[in-house]
Structure 1
Amino acid sequence: MPQHQQFRLLRRPATQKHRWNSEQLQGHLAQQGHDHGGHDPSGLTASRSPAAMTFRAAQGGLDGSLLALPLRRVLPADHPRMIATTRAITERLGAGDGLLFRYLPQDSPDGLDQPEGAFLLCSFWLVDNLAGQGRVDEASQLFEKLCSYASPLGLYSEQIDPSDHSCLGNFPQALSHVGLLSSAVVLARAQRGVRPELSTHAWFQ
């Protein structure tokens, strides 16, 4: 297939079935994907503040991959539940120095016999969410900190050891570099006054 036809396929509008599936997924997350009860991972009660999203309704383990929901157009970054989730992940999964654990093994057992480091891509997702919430200065500061974790060759690993900032896991890790580039674009646009595509305004304009 010629390249220009492939490009048109990528830009093809969503079909009615795709929209229905998207709405079903969003409805499921709204009803089942957050903490209904007295314990809210964000430390706030659901009656007073929007509950934080959880990784799985059955277990309730907070997972850093939830920061990717705005990138997948499930919820805007500035949606109240995403704001609560961003705060909960920062407080609960924070490893210090801008780093985030993907999850806590005691909450989400993974069967691994060794502890993992901080998942670098989660921190880049956090940059995107902060920018999408209008917290551009915070996002910029975090981005600059994350850039300091590059190897002497300018490459990034999958994980970072929070204790000494050494590289862990796969190296180099393509996903970490994708996160770097994505966050750089989001910040560049935000600093020029262009609202991030992760925000409600961009979704519904």
Structure 2
Amino acid sequence: MRKSLVRKLREKGIDNENVLDAIGKIPRHWFFDEIFVEHAYQDKAFPIAEGQTISQPYTVAFQTDLLELKPGKKILEIGTGSGYQACVLVECGVDLVTIEYKDKLSRLAKKMLKHMGYEPKFIIGDGSLGCDKFAPYDGIIVTAGAPTVPQALVDQLKIGGHLIIPVGDRKMQKMLRLTKQSNGNITKEEFSNFSFVPLLGNDGWSK
């Protein structure tokens, strides 16, 4: 079933072998109740606790690919959610800090990932403000839809680092990749439209 999922992602244009290998190794069905296990390797999002979702595998692969990851790089994930995206990032060999607004989700994800053998740094807090404690980052990935690009995330990027963030309204967002240049300027690339749960916090959406 995992191999079938990887084939589907290839057919949709994902050709980053590191990302595909990571997705092929992760038991996504562990994130599903037993009665829903047949949904685990379909390329679609699925509801989880606290009104959140486990992201569609294509979306996970697309965002991860945009980061242009290399082993050992320090990455900040905004929105731990189920923890599935975090698994993919750690499997790609990065040093991951993942922050979640809702403490219940963070605790559940931490327990699940530890059981699976993945141990990124878990933070409970306002992801729209980033995590200055471990900054700067080689890359930042936001897994929730933002109304604007939070300045704190731009500030916490290293020179040459990428910020991957979906920006738009509550229903639809444009995927952006912002890159910090050596002079401190930011270049912006726009990609496809996606639909994420809202980014909550000071520089996100209100509850």
TM-score (norm 1): 0.29
Higher strand share: 2
Task: Look at both structures and tell me which one has the larger radius of gyration over its CA atoms.
Answer: 1
Higher helix share: 1
